[in-house]
Amino acid sequence: MARNPRYDILFEPVKIGPKLAKNRFFQVPHASGMTNAAPQVRAAFRGMKAEGGWGVVCTGAASVDPSSDDSPFPCATLWDRADIAAHRVMTEAVHAQGALAGIELWHGGAAAMNRTTRLPPLSPSGVPWMATHVPFMSSARPKVMDAGDIKDLIRWHAEAAMRAEQAGFDILYVYAGMGYLPYQFLLSDYNHRTDAYGGSVRNRVRLVEELIDAVREATHGRCAVALRLSMQELRGRPSDVAESEAHEVIGLLRDAPDLFDVKMDYSGTDCGPSRFVPEGSHRPFVDFLKQVTDKPVVGVGRFTSPDMMVQMIRGGVLDFVGGARPSIADPFLPAKIDQGREEDIRECIGCNICISSWHDGVWVRCTQNPTAGEEWRRGWHPEKPRAQGEGEVLVVGGGPAGLEAALTAARRGFRVALADKAGEFGGRLRFETALPGLRQWMRVADYRLGQLRKMPNVSLYPGSEIAPDDVAEFGADHVVVATGARWTNALCGANELPIAPLEAPRVYTPDDLAAGAVPEGPVAVFDFDAYYLGTALAEDLAARGLAVTYITTAGAAAAWSFLTNEQGHIHSALARRGIGYRTLERVTGFDGETLALAQMMSGEPRQIAARSLVLVGLRQGGSALHEALIARGIAAELTGDALAPGAIAHAVWQGHRTGETLGLSNVMIRRDPGPGALILPEAAE
């Protein structure tokens, strides 16, 4: 198909200093969990985006010196010759597809705790980053940088720039954002210095200027130099000479870099979850740059709509459409727009499972794109299956796993029949996406159904409850059972393990609410699942006018959602809706009038009044259909939540693996994995 002419502007080449980007699609630096220990994995992950049409593809932050050590989080380095070789694998993969390669030179300063190197953290004025979440906490306090430390920092950047050029990078970043060291010099909260690097905005900008100059001089102008800046705090601070300190900083630096990459200050706002933050949310903070500088500007905002992208360019806000999460969800987003296939874009849902990967210290995961992080290890491609298949596949269950298994099998060439007992496909998504803020998560089903409905080798059977006799009569060559999991009414003990179910009046599970049950208020929601659903249900019940108390065994509401940048937003939403919350407590009993509680640490008994209790804790998989088929000797694959309950991302990944391996019975082990490989048993092609 031909490209829609209204998107032509997105495919114009743009100069970045001495380099030329072939289009305006710019995959900005973002964490992937793929450090120098896994160069082939990193190269395949980034190279896939270049194959998908991104004109610029950047790797994530790379430490310029051992005094910037982010362990235990995945931290790439650019310290020596071995690092050069590791990064070169990635630049070669990107260049092979005609894209420019960029790298973010990083020093964390007071935000880098140096747990492995044990070197003192560095800071402009000794101001520590007082993180309150355990993975970020440290009793170490930073050293106040002297003149020698500042010279060292500039030298480290220059030396890292030379190594980056040797590794093949085209664009070298100076990173002055997200609380890291150059940003700490810019912001008066961190910078209390009285020398040439502190005090006025003009002085606080000095270090950033010198870093830009050092990086450019180190590569003799052959590489483009980008500056990444956080705008949120600076935009809100008054200036004596400009509209804000952000305006003043950009004015002072207007000609310094070849490119401005602008973002927010905090992960929860920079990568805001779609549950609370809309597409394009950065615009009010970055819309002034093109009025101050003539240099190209790239910014992000979870852009998934081509029309929004064009609006940002034509509106004079950005020169490049930045993408991190959308580029993970669909590495081929630019190619699909170029080919007039916008309806085929696998849109980011903003769930931030990708961000949780970095917090967990693992390779990136994605709910929408199960192949992310698996491009090299398993040979998965987001658009092309590994191996062709033949015969017929019956998939029972049309939730996230069943939809993905059906789509993957159909792309391999199987004839696929997908059946679900409900009148509509989507499984758990049909209920969960009706809860406050979660509508965009329905893109998981919408994308897959949109693809399946276009395929001549696919038949869809909604409203079809499948019994063992039906499977036997159907006679498919392969059967996949993806019938989901069920929530139980189990409580949990003091050790946080599930215990016996609670039998009492007006006790509900999420499945009961999905089936239409309406609790009587006041309602207590007891959440030891610790992800999004407990608080989303509490919000929904409060929106119906019920008095709601949220209770959790953890120290904060939806404790795991800290990893997805949702926790702060969730607490604000609870307050906004008048929902009381009680932390570090568990439910020990309920008689329909009084809820008995115990403090998690001390066991101290407590109680509150409640008429209804919603339990969000233990989910159980399994499938009676699968058991019956196995008993009859009918081979069937169990997948998704029915195999092992988890997040939607887990179900989609399992469904994809099932679809990829159908009919491939031989075991293959990668014999020459190369650096960074995991040797895994996998079905042969």
Rounded distance, CA 272 to CA 268, Å?
5
Rounded distance, CA 315 to CA 272, Å?
23
Closest CA to 470 of 390, 397, 391, 396: 396
With a CB cutoff of 8 Å and minimum separation 6, the contacts of 184 are 109, 110, 123, 124, 127, 190, 191
SS3 label, residue 48: helix
User: What are the C-alpha distances in Å from 651 to residues 64, 366, 371?
Assistant: 38, 11, 13
Map tokens 């809820």 to a residue: 595
Selected catalytic residue, list 7, 173, 175, 180: 180
**Strand 320-323 to strand 612-616: parallel, antiparallel, or no bridges (unpaired)?**
unpaired
Rg, C-alpha atoms of the chain? 26
Q: Where are the beta strands (DSSP E) in 93-161?
A: 100-106, 122-123, 143-144
**Tokens coding 166:** 């040797």
Tell me the one-letter amino acid at 537.
L
Size of the chain in residues: 685
Sign of CA dihedral 523, 510, 443, 648: positive
Rounded distance, CA 161 to CA 164, Å?
5
User: What are the C-alpha distances in Å from 242 to residues 138, 238, 248, 465, 578?
Assistant: 38, 8, 6, 67, 40
Check if the beta carbon of residue 19 is closer than 8 Å to that of residue 222. no
SS3 label, residue 548: strand
Bridge partners, 524 (sequence order) = 549, 613
**Tokens coding 288:** 């002034």
**Tokens coding 397:** 């269950």
Burial 457-468 (b: 16+ CB within 10 A, else e): bbebbeebebeb
180 included as an active-site residue: yes
Rounded distance, CA 110 to CA 68, Å?
9
Give the DSSP per-residue string, 202-228: HHHTHHHHHHHHHHHHHTTT-SEEEEE
Torsion angle of alpha carbons 603, 606, 608, 613, nearest 10°? 20
Return the percent helix, strand and coil in the chain, to nearest 5. 35, 20, 45
**Tokens coding 75:** 């931290």
Q: How far is CA 145 from the centre of its chain?
A: 34
SS3 label, residue 678: coil
Check if the beta carbon of residue 298 is closer than 8 Å to that of residue 322. yes
Phi (first) and psi of residue 180, to 5 degrees: -85, 175
**Strand 56-63 to strand 25-27: parallel, antiparallel, or no bridges (unpaired)?**
parallel
User: What are the C-alpha distances in Å from 456 to residues 32, 412, 417, 453?
Assistant: 36, 13, 11, 8
Catalogue the active-site residues.
180
